Amino acid sequence: MSNSSRIAVDAMGGDKGLDVMLAGVAAARRRFDGMQFLLVGDEAQIRAGLEAHPNLTQHSEIVHAPEVVGGAEKPSQAIRRAKTTSMGVAIDMVKQGRAGAAVSCGNTGALMAMAKLALRMLPGIDRPALAALLPTLGENDVVVLDLGANTEVDARNLVQFAVMGAAYARTTLDLGRPRVALLNIGSEDQKGTEEIRDAAAALRAADHLPLDFTGFIEGDQLARGNVDVIVCDGFSGNIALKTAEGTARFVADLLKRAFSSSVRSKIGFLISKPATELLRDHLDPNNHNGAVFLGLNGLVVKSHGGANERGVATAIGAAAKMVRDDLTRRISEDLGNFEAKAA
Amino acid sequence: MSNSSRIAVDAMGGDKGLDVMLAGVAAARRRFDGMQFLLVGDEAQIRAGLEAHPNLTQHSEIVHAPEVVGGAEKPSQAIRRAKTTSMGVAIDMVKQGRAGAAVSCGNTGALMAMAKLALRMLPGIDRPALAALLPTLGENDVVVLDLGANTEVDARNLVQFAVMGAAYARTTLDLGRPRVALLNIGSEDQKGTEEIRDAAAALRAADHLPLDFTGFIEGDQLARGNVDVIVCDGFSGNIALKTAEGTARFVADLLKRAFSSSVRSKIGFLISKPATELLRDHLDPNNHNGAVFLGLNGLVVKSHGGANERGVATAIGAAAKMVRDDLTRRISEDLGNFEAKAA
């Protein structure tokens, strides 16, 4: 078994504690064949936690790291502790080639800063972008980036995000020429910030790219499935992602209220329970967990801080698929072609 | 009947045409007592359209305006046609004191530019903000601003939006000290842009304001009902609003799919239909229509471009409530107190 099929897991970084992390890793082990793990964190605690998962023990190795990055810790502070924290050491496993990807539920800013410092950017990329697959009404999920790695961006960053997002969609969704749109507050040419308009002009002119640039898209089209990649700055992307999650939960809560509003609707609910459970499954963020920092020389996957066992397993599964798809090499190739043709 | 209880309606500005606008006005007339209308637009077309609404005729007056602002027209271009377009003339009715508020379904940018030029800003306000009430799981709706009037803002703008949003919540939700939060991509102090962090510092220090500043809020908390006013720049606000609308529709579509996935769930759906209709009603944007430009010397209400008859009636009802609440004077008083105490 090659080192690249091993996933390094920051076992200490989740809001729900080590036991949920280990249960998630064990679930991933059962769900996906042939996975091996490096469990990074406090060795004694991990060893004790593993007693509940005898099947996991033989497929994993503990890598000791005495410290944990705090949820509110500044990235600039966290990177000084890269060599002693579970997050930093997990990333280092990727750098050393001992793992194909690192997965962490910890502090996003610290994760990005550490990953950038340890793994460095791919040639031609100025900044990494956090990308995730979101469910749509269409046949495929949609790739959305940046989801919070870069609060402010320029046109050049947005164009790079578009190329990386398209490469991700080409790889993971198996699409030849993904349809790429820029998130904006209107579909007309003069709408939005100067950066967005400049990025649109650059993408419209770049017909050598393996993507179809479809122009601007508004927030209400995120889940329609009429594009494959949605590009935005990290601030609006994060707002959009969290608003979508919050609204889905809001609607589910309203639905629960509506269903318990009368005896009649309670009966209807019981009968249609399989349908509403299907819906709940489809909307549960734990079933769409695992965002990746694109643009790095190696795979680092960010899981929701509050992910449950299933969420952790989903993020690990996503990381394993990226390793299997050789995502970093594929993106790097697309970028190389882009640069070569643009030159 | 005073002039202020009259609403000037841009009859030509909606995507769905004059007939839907007139049907909406007629529905508002039936729904709310004692309303009078100035119907602004092409006189011959409006007169012909009114034949279908004999009850509306006696409560309305036609004000002729030969031109219409285009949906993609640049604001800088539209303002040159302020005196001849239905949008411009509707706003002018407010300026002249012939109407208490103007309602338009047209181009947001043009509406703001024309309104700003004709009505001017309230003292102490640099820019208007588009504010709307959104449904929550709590007791009250939440005021969200800016929803798209200002693509880029500074800290000073955000603080002014907070004061105006609080004044709106004090008036329309009848709250003494509204809870005000800034929309951000994390709740920790160091998160977000410099503008947001500076605005937070200013709001934290301003304990003379009639509001409780609760710090940062993330996109997933929009509909939770744990704050009364959410402040953001117009770009993220627009993305959040549209993402919320799109996600609600996405979930409703998934629900429909789930309910038709088997005979069992179809039966469940039929039985629980009143419950799901309640939900649909609660989520339909036409039932929450009517955003207002705060900070102007007069009331201008923006309706969804694609509003149906019910949506137009809702926006007109919202405008009538603002007139009745004397919203502009109340905001102006709050701003005056703010300035006086800050001095």
Mutate to test the interface with B, among A239, A266, A278 (most CBs of B within 10 A): A239
Which one-letter DSSP state was computed for residue B260? Answer: T
Q: Is residue A240 part of a domain?
A: yes
Per-residue confidence (pLDDT) for residue B187, from 0 to 100: 83
Which residue from B minimizes the CA distance to A137?
Answer: B250
> Nearest C-alpha of chain A: how many angstroms from B188?
6
Domain count, chain A: 2
Q: Is residue B341 part of a domain?
A: no
Residues A139 and A189 in one domain: yes
Q: Which two tokens stand for residue B180?
A: 């005000």
Q: Is residue B339 part of a domain?
A: no
Residues B43 and B77 in one domain: yes
Q: Is residue B336 part of a domain?
A: no
Asked whether the beta carbons of residue A243 and residue B247 sit closer than 8 angstroms, the reply is yes
Mutate to test the interface with B, among A108, A231, A242, A287 (most CBs of B within 10 A): A242
Residues B163 and B244 in one domain: yes
Which one-letter DSSP state was computed for residue B288? Answer: G
* Domain extent for B36: 1-121+295-324
> Nearest C-alpha of chain B: how many angstroms from A237?
9
pLDDT digits (tens, 9 = 90+) for A30-65: 988 889 999 999 999 999 999 999 989 999 999 999
What is the residue whose two structure tokens read 């929450």?
Answer: B288
Residues A184 and A199 in one domain: yes
Per-residue confidence (pLDDT) for residue B4, from 0 to 100: 60
Cβ atoms within 10 Å of A80's Cβ, excluding its own: 10
Residues B263 and B282 in one domain: yes
Boundary-marking domain end, from B292, B309, B336:
B292
Residues B184 and B309 in one domain: no
Residues B148 and B270 in one domain: yes
Residues A160 and A17 in one domain: no
CA distances from A219 to A216, A241, B156 (A): 10, 10, 27
Residues B138 and B191 in one domain: yes
Per-residue confidence (pLDDT) for residue B1, from 0 to 100: 42
Residue A254's pLDDT band (cuts 50, 70, 90)? confident
> What amino acid is encoded at A134 in this protein?
L
Q: Is residue B284 part of a domain?
A: yes
Residues B15 and B67 in one domain: yes
Boundary-marking domain end, from B248, B271, B292:
B292
**Upstream peptide bond of A146 is cis (omega within 30 degrees of 0):** yes
Q: Is residue B214 part of a domain?
A: yes
Cβ atoms within 10 Å of A225's Cβ, excluding its own: 16
Ranges A275-279, A283-287, A334-338, B107-111: which has the least confidence: A275-279
Per-block average pLDDT, block size 10, for chain B (343 residues)?
77 92 95 91 97 93 96 92 96 97 94 96 93 91 94 94 95 93 89 93 90 95 94 96 90 80 76 73 82 96 93 94 93 80 60
Q: Which two tokens stand for residue B200?
A: 């937070």
pLDDT digits (tens, 9 = 90+) for A130-174: 999 998 988 899 999 999 989 899 999 999 999 999 999 999 999
- In sequence order, the 6+-apart residues with CB closer than 8 A to the CB of A134 are A141, A142, A144, A222, A223, A241, A244, A288
Per-residue confidence (pLDDT) for residue B280, from 0 to 100: 75
Q: What are the phi and psi torsion angles at A56 (to 5°)?
A: -75, -35
Q: Is residue B302 part of a domain?
A: yes
Per-residue confidence (pLDDT) for residue B336, from 0 to 100: 82
Which residues of chain B have a CB within 8 Å of the CB of A283?
A: 251, 254
Residue A1's pLDDT band (cuts 50, 70, 90)? very low
Q: Which two tokens stand for residue B24?
A: 């909406």
Which residue from B minimizes the CA distance to A134?
Answer: B247
Asked whether the beta carbons of residue A236 and residue B234 sit closer than 8 angstroms, the reply is no
Give the CATH number of the domain where residue A35 resides. 3.40.718.10
Mean pLDDT, rounded, for A86-98: 97
CA distance B91 to B85: 10
Residues B172 and B143 in one domain: yes
Q: Is residue B335 part of a domain?
A: no
Residues B283 and B194 in one domain: yes
Mean pLDDT over the full length of chain A? 91
Which one-letter DSSP state was computed for residue A307? Answer: -
